[in-house]
Structure 1
Amino acid sequence: MITIKEVARHAGVSMSTVSYVLSGKRSISEETKRRVEQSIVALGYHPNAGARALASNRSQVLGLVVPLRSGVNMPVIMQFVASIVSSARDYDYDVLLLTKEAGPGEAHRVTARSMADAIVLMDVESDDLRIPELRTVDAPVVLLGMPDDHEGLSCVDLDFATAGRQMAGHLADRGHRSIALIGSPPAVYERGTSYATRLLEGFRSETARRNVRASVHPCAPGYESVAACLDEVLAPEHGTTGLVVHNEAILGTLLLELRRRSLDVPGDLSVITLCPDDVAESLPVPLTSIAVPAEELGAIAVEMVMARLTEEHPPEVRLLQPRLTDRGSTSTL
């Protein structure tokens, strides 16, 4: 393994000069810097994480807090994780994945022990108990989600309230007067998970504004749960003609169960959903959907946290506007 001593000898400089070039902690002449960089490339030198941390007082690690709780959809979660890992790599950062539901104190523990220079936090609740602590952490923190009380915090997310309004409005515009929201698993609502409650609020406000009859049905994954949920949704007294589905994990099962009941989409029942585009496109019936832009959201979260690492940057909230793609799964009455 090539060492910093060999790089110094090759470039004709001291070991401390090489260290300063790597860390940027002191001003080095452009000629010397170029000579050191050429030696690094020529020798194939890669500074180890420990040396890098000592030189810069940084770990070059980004902490990603994503508690693996009941009701989370792992394939979608992993799209976010993959985007954050890939984006962090562009900044020469590794990612420390923290999946334990540790509650308040976790952010302080991670930063106080120099395990990570900054934190991205997922699975944010509307009334999140971690919020007071996050305001006191001596490190940049970005929430991938938006709590009700986000004063002084940096957040990025999809505008789920607008998404709920748009999906209800899409069906109302096509003449549907009785629609149902098949929502996330009950545990997600019981925790007060921010994205689910915001979408529900948007759905309810739009159906009330349009004078559309609406019902809400949380749905756990699994065939029996989906079948029981459809029994409620399709009860004759409801007269349901359109479904808004906010539950990626059940989409395939839902469509298969509708087919088993000889219900055609969109001939007998219109369906619109919120999920990643690749999921909506690959289902037995491609669904009209609002995209979950996991790749974009993950990249923005990393961009925001890195901006706070390198410069003074005021807190900000970025809500991405929903993008609806019509794939023909909703009909006009």
Structure 2
Amino acid sequence: MVTLAEVARHAGVSASTVSYVLSGKRSISATTRLRVQQSIHELGYHPNAGARALASNRSNVIALMIPLRTDMYVPVMMEIAVAVATTARTHGYDVLLLTGEEGPDAVRRVVGSGLADAMILMDVELDDERLPLLREAAQPSVLIGLPADTSGLTCVDLDFKATGALCVEHLAGLGHRDIAVIGEAPAVYERHTGFAERTLDGLRSRARELDVRMLHRPCGGGYDATAGTLARILDERPGTTGFVVQNEQAVEPLLALLRQQGRAVPEDVSVLAVCPDQVAVQASVRLTSVSIPAQEMGRRAVERLVAKLDGSGADDVMLIAPELKVRASTGPAPSATA
């Protein structure tokens, strides 16, 4: 294993100079800094994490709080987590993954133990119990999600309200006047999870503005739950011609059930999903969709957190504009072509 002293000899400087280059605690000339960095690269030197933490009073670790619940679509959560981890490494940080449903206790543990220099929180609720602790904590934090009150917080998220509105606009533009929304599992709404509530707000608001009748029904994952939800929708609104699905686990069951009932997509009914592109393009009918920009959300969250750690970041809310991609699952409403 290469030592700091060997780097110093290779670069022709003192060991303290190498240490100052690594820590940034003293100003070093650009020429000397470059020479030391070249020696570090050529020799493959990796600073001892413990020593570096003691010297800088930093752990160089970011805590990512990502409760893995059975009612959430885990692949999207993990795609965000991978983006966080890879982006953090480019900035010299490792990621501590906290997957338990500990709520405020997890924040207290990170704050009290010095496990991490900063925190990224996911699965954000409108009135999230973790927020008061974040506002008081010395460690910087970023939310991937949007609570009801964003004061004193930094947030990154897809603009889910605009997403809901965009879905209604697309179907209404095709002549659909009766739209049903197959939503997330009931527990997601019971927790008032931000992304689900905001999508629903956008759907309802735009439906009222465009004089579109809209019915929303939560749906558990899997075929049986989707079958029950679809039967309820068609019993209550038999004239439904457009579906918005915000539940990845209901996408393929819904398409299968519509085929079994002899309802062709998109000739008889249109289906639009809020889901990752991979889910949309691999479905049995290529779905018109608003994609979940998981990688962008993870990357931007880390960039904002690093800026705060460097003293250049400020509390702000960054909403990513939704993008709707038209594929094979949406078309004119039957009445519009009659």
Aligned residue in 2 for 1:98: 98
User: Structure 1 residue 110: deviation in Å?
Assistant: 1.0
TM-score normalised according to structure 1 size? 0.96
The answer to whether 1:222 aligns with 2:212 is: no
Aligned residue in 2 for 1:16: 16
Q: 2:136 aligns to what SS in structure 1?
A: coil
Aligned residue in 1 for 2:83: 83
Aligned residue in 1 for 2:145: 145
Cα 1:184–1:236 change in 2 (3 A) is closer
Q: What do residues 109-131 of structure 1 show as CA deviations (whole Å, max 9, x unaligned)?
A: 21332211111100000111111
Q: 1:204 aligns to what SS in structure 2?
A: helix
Q: AA paired with 1:63?
A: A
- Divergent runs of 4+, >6 A: none
Aligned residue in 2 for 1:327: 327
Equivalent-residue separation in structure 1 for 2:15 and 2:164 (angstroms): 59
User: Structure 1 residue 28: deviation in Å?
Assistant: 2.1
Mean alpha-carbon deviation: is it higher for 6-15 or for 159-168?
Answer: 6-15
Aligned residue in 2 for 1:133: 133
Equivalent-residue separation in structure 2 for 1:65 and 1:158 (angstroms): 18
Aligned residue in 2 for 1:28: 28
The answer to whether 1:209 aligns with 2:231 is: no
The answer to whether 1:309 aligns with 2:286 is: no
Q: AA paired with 2:275?
A: C
Aligned pairs for 1:1-333 (under 5 A) are 1-235=1-235, 237-332=237-332, 333=336
Equivalent-residue separation in structure 2 for 1:46 and 1:237 (angstroms): 64
What is the identity percentage for the equivalent residue pairs of Structure 1 and Structure 2?
A: 52
User: Structure 1 residue 239: deviation in Å?
Assistant: 1.1
Q: 1:318 aligns to what SS in structure 2?
A: strand
User: Structure 1 residue 260: deviation in Å?
Assistant: 2.1
Q: Which blocks of at least 5 consecutive residues in structure 1 are unaligned? A: none
Q: 1:297 aligns to what SS in structure 2?
A: helix
Q: 2:47 aligns to what SS in structure 1?
A: coil
User: Structure 1 residue 15: deviation in Å?
Assistant: 2.3
Equivalent-residue separation in structure 2 for 1:31 and 1:172 (angstroms): 63
TM-score normalised according to structure 2 size? 0.94
Q: Which blocks of at least 5 consecutive residues in structure 2 are unaligned? A: none
Q: 1:2 aligns to what SS in structure 2?
A: coil
Q: 2:182 aligns to what SS in structure 1?
A: strand
Equivalent-residue separation in structure 1 for 2:328 and 2:81 (angstroms): 31
Number of matched pairs: 333
Equivalent-residue separation in structure 2 for 1:270 and 1:109 (angstroms): 48
Equivalent-residue separation in structure 1 for 2:272 and 2:39 (angstroms): 58
Equivalent-residue separation in structure 2 for 1:143 and 1:77 (angstroms): 13
**Counterpart contact for 1:63–1:97, Cα < 8 Å:** yes
Q: 2:143 aligns to what SS in structure 1?
A: strand
Q: 1:95 aligns to what SS in structure 2?
A: strand
User: Structure 1 residue 190: deviation in Å?
Assistant: 0.7
Mean alpha-carbon deviation: is it higher for 23-32 or for 88-97?
Answer: 23-32
Equivalent-residue separation in structure 2 for 1:183 and 1:194 (angstroms): 13
Equivalent-residue separation in structure 2 for 1:100 and 1:93 (angstroms): 22
Q: 1:234 aligns to what SS in structure 2?
A: helix
